[in-house]
Chains A and B, each alone.
Chain A
């Protein structure tokens, strides 16, 4: 089974892009199943269900959604096999960007939009830097110049990835994305496979449900802001602008 992981910033159009791409794939009579991992609530599964394919949802609820995702990968793979899927699509929610859901040997797609600002490629982190294919949406409403600068900035943080322009409203560009999905390698299972980027090294009292602010309530792996360093950064920025 081919496993395709789709991640990206919130409201970048992950589901719209995948709906168009999957329509192209389904037209070739290939069996696809979709698992959507989200945090508290999602309606994306309804959109996928309209394609007439098996869809399941995992809501992480009180658990960090990225940890929840990793802890369930074997089970999701097994579910996909039960559905006799040839391609399993795992769409994750666009959350804190500290982590990336990418798995070695599986195609990793990152969806990001032109409206998110030209500094976004630098800020997004491993979701973008570890992706094989980067889909850039909402290019139809910003200037060509901004698109070119945005693309350049993506290429600077991830020179190896394929960068595709896709229109999430019309589906333009998804034929090309289909080619990458179909060409992705099949894997015999996810047990023993490795994440492309480690999850955060932090277990603190807030992870365990603490809600009160204050050092005396903080235990475990706690990291404090280095204000001295921030001052230096600020000076650097103002200097750069002048």
Chain B
């Protein structure tokens, strides 16, 4: 199913007042971050989108697909398949080699060239993670970074859900910038709930939440982008430090100042 845009028609915040931002439009191929303190209503917003809220949830929001009421657009069964999720809490629990499972997933979608697409998903995941995933590896034995990379590649290439909700991806073993760009490149609507400044700035736009309502909807400014490129530098330093500590290096001669100035 083709989705070019979803619209969040504003509802009420936790005080029962109208949300500051009355309407938010998110287009396919866009990465939008959802930020705000704990308890600010991020989960409710995501839940509203998943449920295709029609003024019948606590927030009283209404969600539209391509500007129309979801029900006028698709059956309930179809609507329930439009959203894929990736979160830090998710694990592969099936005891099965990567190849077998990817083929199974492809077959369950009725894809004929299951073998070929399974290989594509695995190759794609390998571009996102530094720890190579092999088709013979068992799903349950993958590391956190490998699992996340495989989940992203699978959602990008094998799930037909046009909307992807991401609830935090930790910065370990996976190139997050590339992961999000991969999903957006598949013309999906990508929503990222995060407390991580880097992840928030990778997004082209961000929704800011407070007291259950959307208080801001901002497009990343040139300053944001400059900040992101600096954060990517900081990230690089952190990764290098992490590697040195992992390797058991003696850091007594290294100061934080030096580590950063080196760049």
B89 & A164 in contact (Cβ 8 Å cutoff)? no
Collect the chain B residues with CB atoms within 8 Å of residue A118's CB: 94, 104
Collect the chain B residues with CB atoms within 8 Å of residue A173's CB: 51
Nearest Cβ on chain A to B243's Cβ, whole angstroms: 28
Q: Is the interface of A mostly helix, strand, loop or mixed?
A: mixed
Number of A-B contacts (CB under 8 A): 74
Question: Is B256 part of the contact surface with A, judged by Cβ < 8 Å?
Answer: no
A142 & B105 in contact (Cβ 8 Å cutoff)? no
Nearest Cβ on chain B to A48's Cβ, whole angstroms: 23
Collect the chain A residues with CB atoms within 8 Å of residue B101's CB: 145, 149
Cβ proximity bits B55-83 to A, threshold 8 Å, 1 near / 0 not: 01100000000000000000011001000
Interface size of A by CB at 8 A reads: 25
Question: Is B128 part of the contact surface with A, judged by Cβ < 8 Å?
Answer: no
Collect the chain B residues with CB atoms within 8 Å of residue A162's CB: 76-77
Spot the interface stretch: B9-17, B153-161, B174-182, B246-254: B153-161
Question: Is B151 part of the contact surface with A, judged by Cβ < 8 Å?
Answer: yes
Place the interface of chain B in its size category. Answer: 20 to 34
Nearest Cβ on chain A to B19's Cβ, whole angstroms: 20
Contact of B90 among A117, A143, A149 (CB under 8 A): A143
Collect the chain A residues with CB atoms within 8 Å of residue B117's CB: none
A146 & B50 in contact (Cβ 8 Å cutoff)? no
Collect the chain A residues with CB atoms within 8 Å of residue B89's CB: 140-141
A142 & B91 in contact (Cβ 8 Å cutoff)? yes
Question: Quick one: given A152-B108, A176-B51, are A144 and B151 in contact (CB under 8 Å)?
Answer: yes
19 sample A-B contacts, Cβ–Cβ < 8 Å, listed by A number: A118-B104, A142-B93, A144-B84, A144-B86, A144-B151, A144-B161, A145-B105, A145-B154, A146-B92, A146-B94, A148-B108, A148-B109, A148-B159, A149-B101, A152-B108, A162-B76, A172-B47, A175-B56, A175-B57
